Structure 1
Amino acid sequence: MRAIRVASATLLAATALTLTAPTASAAVADDTDTNNNITSFGFRVTPSTIAAGGQVTLSVDGCEGNTTVTSGVFDDAQIPKGQQSTTATVFEDAKPGAMYEVTFDCKGEKGTTDLTIATGRPTHHPTHHPTAPVRHGVRAGVGGSLGGLDLHEIALGSALIVGTLGTAYYWTRRRTGDSNS
């Protein structure tokens, strides 16, 4: 009889932990899934992180017409029908660490992606050859699985887990009148 109570309490605790886990992972997933564009054509900016003054390749797949690419960080670009890519030069005064939206327009259908400006300057530029590359240290911050959680959410999750474990402990330790059965 005791084995059945222990198994029931363990199952109750496991169920409670399982039901609280999706809420925490959903909060983190919402912060990372900001580019969920669905278009009939494919598009990309390569590289997705570039230093101010650097050159990016703008590519499109499956567009049956001319594609216009716009952003606040480089001059508007055109990808003519039949071609798949073009290049654009990022403005020298682009703010390091900023994220700019890049919009691809194929016959009125629009898709967007992000372009991040890195700190430092490019080590190679077609019209500029520096004698030594500019080096900067790593910029670290909160990352990993705790980036999207705040102290209030962590406390609430901990309270739910402690309450579940306490309930499981209570029911396993509870004495019944037929304990000798």
Structure 2
Amino acid sequence: MRAIRVASAALLGSMTALTLAMPVAVAEGDGEHEPDRDITSFGFNVSPTTIAAGGRVSLSVNGCKKETKVSSGVFDTVTIHKGQSNASATVDWDAKPGAVYEVTFQCGHESGHTDLTIAGGRPDDPTHPPVHRGVKAGVGGTAGGFDLGQIGLGAALIAGSVGAAYHWSRRRSGEQGG
């Protein structure tokens, strides 16, 4: 009977520690992937987001009441005139396969950024067929982004909770048996 009380107290303590530690971990984020890193009053898009060198991308903007300049290190600067919402750009032939380039949309004094990935191979060029390297799978669920300090802090919180639960259950048992 006493083992059940100790086990349930330890479980309750560890669940409490995990519950209290979770908001900190969620609030910090991993900082690696932030889809809304540039919140603007206007919308913007590059399509497709992955393209081979020499390919054409569609650039679109909505909600910008001024002229929009779209620039990147992989194509010439494009102007989307006031009242228009679309333009296109040709990716440079010397763009490095696998590289990720930042595309900047400048509307007045406000700017937003998104990424453009260069795929392997070149369109309409049989001497450079596309190179398929498989799927980029990521880091495996929620384990990505944790560092050794966060893991150590979580382990210390759990150990402290289990130790406190054990201490209080032993103390209470000693008072009743005594």
- Per the shorter chain, which TM-score range? 0.7 to 0.9
Q: What is the identity percentage for the equivalent residue pairs of Structure 1 and Structure 2?
A: 51
TM-score by length of 2: 0.78
CA distance in 2, matches of 1:89, 1:9: 62
Residue type of the partner of 1:109? E
* Structure 1 residues 4-153: aligned runs within 5 Å: 10-33=11-34, 35-118=36-119, 120-122=120-122, 125=123, 128-130=124-126, 133-138=129-134, 140=136, 143-144=139-140, 145-153=142-150
1:159–1:96 distance in 2 versus 1, CA, 3 Å: farther
TM-score by length of 1: 0.77
Secondary structure of 1:69 counterpart: strand
Name the residue aligned to 1:177.
175
What displacement does 1:41 show? 1.2
Residue type of the partner of 1:136? H
Secondary structure of 1:137 counterpart: coil
Secondary structure of 2:22 counterpart: helix
CA distance in 2, matches of 1:150, 1:95: 31
Secondary structure of 1:178 counterpart: helix
Cα contact 1:6–1:172 (8 A) shared by 2: no
CA distance in 2, matches of 1:13, 1:129: 60
CA distance in 1, matches of 2:27, 2:117: 25
The count of corresponding residues between Structure 1 and Structure 2 is: 174
